[in-house]
Amino acid sequence: MQQLSIIKVGGKVVETPESLQQLLNDFVALPGLKVLVHGGGRSATKVAEQLGIETKMVEGRRITDMETLKVVTMVYAGLVNKNIVASLQAKGANAIGLTGADLNLIKAIKRPVKNIDYGYVGDVESVQVEELMELLNKKVVPVIAPLTHDGLGNMLNTNADTMASALAGALAKHYRVNLVYCFEKRGVLSNPNDDDALIDKLSHPLFKQYQQSGVIAEGMIPKLDNGFNALNKGVEKVIITNTEGLKQGFNAGTVLVL
């Protein structure tokens, strides 16, 4: 099987022009087939603010009412996605920008209302990679925005980490997949204030232990759940690292093991 790298980038990295260009240079330099999954939350918050739409977050998740859905569709699938695609084309990668609606790539279900009504937020239901694979095999580089659709005509806002994990899991049947979560820090830290406190190898039992003791908390928990889910679906390697780590051949940062 061919090797395929799925790189998820989010946070400031993707939304500062200089760091984005640097990241895309490193991404283009990666060998083999590849997919980029991006966020764009900061830009969405900024555009929402300019439009006078209040941003509501609960536990780090955006409450997506109808107006906010329009904003994230514009910002993620339009502004952020197409600027990445145009930049990659300029760097010689034949990029294509996609959401989960395109090619019916990722279908989701609107999150059921329990304690909190997240609005137009999608939980991944199915992944359909047949046409995506045709493109990959022609050396096309998919650039995926964090949006899905419900199969009923509506777009849904979906977490980019989850989309990367779902794609990696589905593609693991056809490729030897490396999944890289690329963010600001060196990897998973045993002390969030000490960048030297890198956990270089994190097993699932150790993760659960750290979670219980509070060493690993907040946004890192769903990210790691997504990472371990991908491993469980046959993804060969999952690492969590920063842009520096991206250059080191999938051996930097925190490596997850089952």
Least distance from C-beta 15 to a copy of itself, angstroms?
Answer: 13
- All residues at 6 or more sequence positions from 4 whose CB lies less than 8 Å from its CB, including other chains: 32, 33, 34, 35, 136, 171, 175, 176, 177, 178
- All residues at 6 or more sequence positions from 134 whose CB lies less than 8 Å from its CB, including other chains: none
176-206 in b/e form (b: 16+ CB < 10 A) is bbbbbbbbebbbbbeeeeeeeebbeebeeee
Rounded to whole angstroms, the Cα distance separating 223 from 240 reads 9
**Does the protein bind a copy of itself through residue 138 (CB under 8 A)?**
yes
Among 1, 2, 54, 134, binds a copy of itself (CB under 8 A): 134
**Does the protein bind a copy of itself through residue 99 (CB under 8 A)?**
yes
Rounded to whole angstroms, the Cα distance separating 248 from 258 reads 22
Question: CB 81: neighbour CB atoms within 10 A?
Answer: 24
- At 44, list the tokens: 């969405």
Closest CA to 79 of 107, 57, 48: 48
Q: Are 176 and 3 in contact (CB under 8 A)?
A: yes
Among 18, 66, 115, 152, binds a copy of itself (CB under 8 A): 152
Among 14, 36, 98, 182, binds a copy of itself (CB under 8 A): 98
**Does the protein bind a copy of itself through residue 78 (CB under 8 A)?**
yes
Least distance from C-beta 156 to a copy of itself, angstroms?
Answer: 9
Q: Please report, as residue ranges, which positions from 8 to 47 form the binding site for a copy of itself (by CB under 8 A).
A: 47
Q: Greatest CA span in the chain, whole angstroms?
A: 50
Please choose, out of 85-93, 113-121, 162-170, 206-214, the segment that lies near a copy of itself by the rule CB under 8 A: 85-93
Alpha carbons within 13 A on the beta-carbon side of 218: 7
Please choose, out of 27-35, 83-91, 174-182, 236-244, the segment that lies near a copy of itself by the rule CB under 8 A: 83-91
Please choose, out of 153-161, 202-210, 213-221, 228-236, the segment that lies near a copy of itself by the rule CB under 8 A: 153-161
Rounded to whole angstroms, the Cα distance separating 172 from 6 reads 11
Instruction: Please tell me whether 62 is known to bind a ligand.
Output: yes
Q: Please report, as residue ranges, which positions from 47 to 76 form the binding site for a copy of itself (by CB under 8 A).
A: 47, 50-52, 70, 73-76
**Does the protein bind a copy of itself through residue 121 (CB under 8 A)?**
no
Number of shown-chain residues binding a copy of itself (CB under 8 A):
45
Instruction: Please tell me whether 242 is known to bind a ligand.
Output: no
- All residues at 6 or more sequence positions from 90 whose CB lies less than 8 Å from its CB, including other chains: none
**Does the protein bind a copy of itself through residue 179 (CB under 8 A)?**
no
Which residues sit in the known binding site for substrate? 40-41, 62, 157
Which residues sit in the known binding site? 40-41, 62, 157
Residue ranges that bind a copy of itself, judged by CB under 8 A: 47, 50-52, 70, 73-79, 81-83, 85-87, 89-91, 94-99, 101-104, 130-131, 134-135, 138, 140, 147, 149-155
